[in-house]
């Protein structure tokens, strides 16, 4: 699929530069190639891959990392640049790699424990020339670092994984979850100490949302 076709499919989610569209085309070609022999995603149709994986990830990138993104800091909504990102359970790289593609100034760590998925992620990073992304082959519970933004999407054992992800969030940082609407209540119950913003519906979906919580801010102050 070429960049022009990808642009049309991604338009409802985000507006991408020609360079980002070309990178996405390269990434998609690798995903299709690898997915034929390694189970990276249950999605097999290339158009659905663009909307479900790339579209949703770039939707999150615009709202989390763009210069217009607004963060909750000490109960006040204000712009702030995010420089460190951890993506928990990256799998085929979503949303972590699109976040790195979208924001070259952000240093993105992809946490993934499966060897074949790690090999795929490293090939994509090399093919796209992403100097701001690296893969940590380990479980989130074992990773020693912290980040201003921690993301998680479509991971197994959600209740366990969300606690591991929460521990990786630096003070004043954010936990961003790409989940089904039915999981919103569970997320807030499991991690009640975060100040949760109102869930943002993902375009083209009746059930998926982007839910963001800030660490170290009183939940009572969230608008």
Query: What integer is the mean pLDDT of 138-153?
Result: 96
Band of residue 80 on the pLDDT scale cut at 50, 70, 90 = low
pLDDT value at residue 61: 95
Q: Report the distance separating Cα 97 and Cα 20, nearest Å.
A: 12
Asked whether the predicted pLDDT for residue 82 surpasses 80, the reply is: no
Band of residue 157 on the pLDDT scale cut at 50, 70, 90 = confident
pLDDT value at residue 72: 46
Q: Per residue in 7-47, pLDDT tens?
A: 999 999 999 999 999 999 999 999 999 999 999 999 999 99
pLDDT value at residue 66: 76
Question: Global pTM?
Answer: 0.90
Asked whether the predicted pLDDT for residue 217 surpasses 60, the reply is: no
Q: Domains in the chain, ordered, with CATH?
A: 3-221 (3.40.50.150)
Percent of the chain residues topping a pLDDT of 70:
90
> Both ends of the chain: CA-CA distance in Å?
42
Asked whether the predicted pLDDT for residue 85 surpasses 70, the reply is: yes
Band of residue 205 on the pLDDT scale cut at 50, 70, 90 = confident
pLDDT value at residue 77: 44
Token pair of 100, please?
A: 């790195």
Q: Per residue in 118-131, pLDDT tens?
A: 999 999 999 999 99
Q: Is 49 exposed, middle or buried (0-12, 13-18, 19+ CB in 10 A)?
A: buried
Query: How many beta carbons lie within 10 A of that of residue 5, not counting itself?
Result: 14
For the chain, give the mean pLDDT: 90
Band of residue 67 on the pLDDT scale cut at 50, 70, 90 = low
Q: Is 135 exposed, middle or buried (0-12, 13-18, 19+ CB in 10 A)?
A: buried
Question: Do 58 and 102 meet the contact criterion of CB atoms below 8 Å apart?
Answer: yes
Q: Which residues does 39 contact at the CB level (< 8 Å), separation at least 6?
A: none
């Amino acid at each position: 699929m070429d960049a022009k076709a990808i642009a049309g499919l991604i338009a409802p989610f985000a507006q991408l530069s020609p360079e980002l569209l070309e990178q996405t085309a390269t990434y998609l070609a690798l995903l299709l190639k690898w997915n034929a022999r390694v189970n990276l995603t249950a999605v097999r149709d290339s158009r659905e891959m663009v909307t479900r994986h790339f579209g949703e990830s770039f939707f999150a990138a615009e709202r989390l990392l763009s210069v217009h993104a607004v963060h909750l800091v000490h109960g006040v909504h204000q712009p702030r640049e995010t420089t460190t990102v951890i993506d928990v359970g990256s799998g085929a790289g979503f949303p972590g790699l699109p976040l790195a593609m979208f924001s070259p100034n952000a240093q993105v760590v992809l946490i993934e424990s499966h060897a074949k998925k790690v090999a795929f992620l490293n090939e994509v990073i090399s093919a796209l020339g992403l100097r701001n992304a690296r893969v940590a082959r380990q479980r989130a519970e074992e990773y020693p670092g912290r980040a201003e933004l921690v993301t998680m999407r479509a991971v197994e054992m959600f209740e366990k994984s969300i606690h591991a992800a929460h521990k990786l969030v630096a003070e004043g940082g954010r936990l961003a979850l790409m989940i089904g609407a039915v999981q919103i209540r569970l997320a807030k119950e499991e991690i009640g100490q975060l100040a949760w913003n109102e869930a943002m519906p993902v375009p083209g979906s009746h059930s998926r949302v982007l839910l963001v919580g800030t660490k170290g801010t009183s939940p009572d102050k969230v608008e």
